[in-house]
Chain A
Amino acid sequence: DTAVSQTPKYLVTQMGNDKSIKCEQNLGHDTMYWYKQDSKKFLKIMFSYNNKELIINETVPNRFSPKSPDKAHLNLHINSLELGDSAVYFCASSQGTAWWLFFGEGSRLTVL
């Protein structure tokens, strides 16, 4: 069983479209995250949810909207996609807010 799973693994889309990425963890963790990794491999935190409550909301365009229906799921919806949104998006989970992270396999988004 995959501990943190993301779907889809690859998205190729046109500028202006809307897309969603889903994440599920079966580790029983209470905290989930979205990280963005750009072409230079820099891992930047975007959002964090603890027990379904948003606790970290970094300077991210309003076009990005996370949603956590329950502790095991965290989705990311992106509106009006731009070229600069092309990146690998990683979902991660942890038990508590400062403990180590388990990452999903990543979702590679390419905006044309």
Chain B
Amino acid sequence: QQPVQSPQAVILREGEDAVINCSSSKALYSVHWYRQKHGEAPVFLMILLKGGEQKGHDKISASFNEKKQQSSLYLTASQLSYSGTYFCGTVSGSARQLTFGSGTQLTVLP
């Protein structure tokens, strides 16, 4: 079962902040975040593991609420290069396979 992302789309100006949310009905082992620019492949941003470990890029932060099976990606001081579709992916404890949400389209305007 795929995770639910919100919002579906967001438009902001350079320098503004954005939050993208991801929730699952299953107990999660980890949450992944990827960004896909138009016509390109998805690129890994961050992984958050049950227990608090995180690995990812320095300029992007995220949280993982294990009790609520929710994660949020925080984009601060947005740059034009942040534009793209952001996908969360979840790995549940039993399946150990990565299932993606439907994506959030982020557009940063000058």
Contact = CB atoms under 8 A, between A and B. Distances in A.
Contact of A100 (B32, B40, B87, B96): B32
Report whether over half of chain B's contact residues are helix, strand or loop; otherwise say mixed: strand
A40 B43 CA distance: 18
A42 B88 CA distance: 11
Given A45-B97, A100-B32, A105 B42 contact: no
Contacts, number: 46
Report whether over half of chain A's contact residues are helix, strand or loop; otherwise say mixed: loop
Bin chain A's interface residue count. Answer: 10 to 19
Given A43-B42, A105-B40, A105-B41, A99 B47 contact: yes
A43 B44 CA distance: 14
A103 interface: yes
A98 B44 contact: no
Interface string B8-24: 00000000000000000
Interface of A: 40-45, 48, 56, 90, 97-106
Please give me the 10 A-B residue pairs with the lowest Cβ-Cβ distance, nearest first: A103-B41, A43-B100, A100-B44, A98-B91, A97-B96, A98-B96, A100-B47, A103-B42, A56-B97, A41-B103
